[in-house]
Amino acid sequence: MPETARRTGRPADRHAGTRYGNRPTMKDVAARAGVGLKTVSRVVNGEPGVTPDTERRVQEAIEALGFRRNDSARVLRKGRTASIGLVLEDLADPFYGPLSRAVEEVARAHGALLINGSSAEDPDREQELVLALCARRVDGLVIIPAGDDHRYLEPEMKAGVATVFVDRPAGRIDADVVLSDSFGGARDGVAHLIAHGHRRIGFIGDMPRIHTAAERLRGYRAAMEGAGIPVEDSWMSLGVTDPERVRRAAEAMLEGPAPVTAIFAGNNRVTVTVIRVLAAHSRPVALVGFDDIELADLLQPGVTVVAQDAAALGSTAAERLFRQLDGTLITPERIELPTRLITRGSGELPPVD
């Protein structure tokens, strides 16, 4: 009696001990269905020349064994893996949820698999992740860049890896990029506060080396200059967006003999922290945030925001990526999507000295 049967008390399966942990092959399917390998290959690849009865037997064998086609050989023949990579700043950031989903939907419509990764706003980690994806022969990359020098990608792009940057442009290379109008959105948000009587307006943003943070600061300055309002250094604070740093910046702006009467928050993470600071503050302070946030309409007052369409950023970038892969795009372009101001109450509060 075989050893397996003696231990379990059951007859030994012909695959036990030899196929544990291994995937069934076309040879296994052919043996179970009683057909040749070529017949199984024709059924698996949807080729003609198989009778309905034989196809039925093969399909039953496939289902019984849990067989899945191994596409490695097809990849080598065609030079395509039917997969694309998406490199984000932070997978946990709510802003990137709809963006990632939109890229995935476009990829799915093109029969491709999406592989996500996070750079954690670290240029070295971004490069490591991008090159790891290239080593796995993804057909294309959608990148939200952490670094400002992407020359390391030039050999990959020349080798045919389609590449589109999102939210921020590539550094020191010529590549497609899809952006929101950070400058115009910030300018409009600050102009909205000015229109409601504010003159002492604070700006709290992300690290200045980040393109979106720099553009939003530029929009803030443009709105203030356009209204003839001199900007004091103490009204501006850029840096990491962890809650403690943002809390200190907001509290500093709200103190002193001439505190700000309004704050423009440079992104969703800053906005959430500023909301918490203002909830404990003794007087009303107006607030406009860049990026919409969940439950913003349910707060009292509701949070006025400059909203960008994250899903449109993702879908536009992904469609452009697949047009590169189809050979219909040659010259890189910069595409800038508009933002919109959503008024809910916090940005319409009058100044209180």
Residue 329's pLDDT band (cuts 50, 70, 90): confident
Average pLDDT over residues 273-286: 97
Tens digit of each residue's pLDDT (9 = 90 or more) over 102-125: 999 999 999 999 999 999 999 999
Does residue 295 carry a pLDDT above 90?
Answer: yes
Does residue 17 carry a pLDDT above 60?
Answer: no
Out of 47-56, 78-87, 225-234, 295-304, which region has the weakest mean confidence (pLDDT)?
A: 78-87
CA geometry: angle at 265 spanning 146 and 120, to 5°? 20
Residue 70's pLDDT band (cuts 50, 70, 90): low
| Predicted pLDDT at 2 | 41
Tens digit of each residue's pLDDT (9 = 90 or more) over 72-106: 555 544 557 799 999 999 888 999 999 999 999 99
Q: For residue 134, which phi and psi values (nearest 5 degrees)?
A: -65, -40
Instruction: Report pTM.
Output: 0.81
Tens digit of each residue's pLDDT (9 = 90 or more) over 180-229: 999 999 999 999 999 999 999 999 999 999 999 999 999 999 999 999 99
Strand order in the sheet with 176-180: 113-118, 83-88, 140-143, 162-166, 176-180, 334-337
Question: Whole-number mean pLDDT of the chain?
Answer: 91
| Predicted pLDDT at 244 | 98
Is beta strand 304-307 parallel, antiparallel or unpaired with respect to 340-342? antiparallel
Strands (E) across 78-207 are located at 83-88, 113-118, 140-143, 162-166, 176-180, 201-205
In the structure encoding, which two tokens stand for residue 339, read together? 């933002």
Average pLDDT over residues 51-61: 95
Is beta strand 176-180 parallel, antiparallel or unpaired with respect to 201-205? unpaired
| Predicted pLDDT at 61 | 93
Residues facing residue 118 across a β-bridge: 88
Tens digit of each residue's pLDDT (9 = 90 or more) over 342-353: 999 999 999 998
